[in-house]
Amino acid sequence: MVLYTEKREKQMAYMSQERKAELAPAIRAWCKSHGVKASIAVRNHTKLVVNIKSGSLDFCQNYFDVASEKHPITSQVPTHIQVNTYWAHEHFTGDCRDFLVGLLERMNIGNYDKSDVQSDYFCVGWYVDVNVGSYNKPYQLGA
């Protein structure tokens, strides 16, 4: 697998189909090893997106349980989730957490982050998104 460590001064985030193709085998193998079905896409030439469609891990219930502990007003288990990729390690527990952290590691192979939030300067190789289900097609547990 090729690692992208070239110097990229003052360039915008960029994700190509070729780079996606290089990262895809590791991502697919990780998903398959955990019984998860997902698709991989590039959005706006800046983001690598993994859409988790079905699997044996109950992401929605796990997310609800963690959120309910922190905010007891949460009333209903969601049918889809847009995973906060910066806080996945705190928003999930157990096998769901381990899967998402491993997935994000594989999605970021060769990526870099030279951002300085205090000065409102963001410099990354590419952005990543992880979605569990979608608003019109809920996550299918056990499928």
In angstroms, the CA 30 to CA 103 distance is 7
Provide the pLDDT for residue 63. Answer: 94
Per DSSP, 118 falls in state: G
Q: Characterise 10 by phi-psi region: left (phi > 0), alpha (psi -120 to 50), beta (else).
A: left
Locate tokens 């889809």: which residue? 80
Rounded to two decimals, the pTM is: 0.87
- pLDDT tens by residue, 59-105: 999 999 999 888 776 678 999 999 999 999 999 999 999 999 999 99
Out of 22-36, 68-82, 120-134, pick the least confident. Answer: 68-82
Q: Does the pLDDT at position 4 exceed 60? A: no
For strand 140-141 and strand 47-55, is the pairing parallel, antiparallel, or unpaired?
parallel
Q: What per-residue confidence (pLDDT) applies to 117?
A: 78
Single out the residue of 123, 92, 89, 126 nearest to residue 107, CA to CA: 126
**Mean pLDDT for the chain overall:** 90
- Cα–Cα distance measured from residue 103 to residue 27, given in angstroms and rounded to the nearest whole number: 7
In 3D space, the residue among 6, 9, 27 whose CA is nearest the CA of residue 128 turns out to be 27
Query: What is the mean predicted confidence (pLDDT) over 133-138?
Result: 94
Instruction: Give the long-range contacts of residues 76-79, CB within 8 A, separation 24 or more.
Output: 79/133, 79/138, 79/139
Domain boundaries along the sequence of the chain: 17-135
pLDDT over 70 percentage in the chain: 91
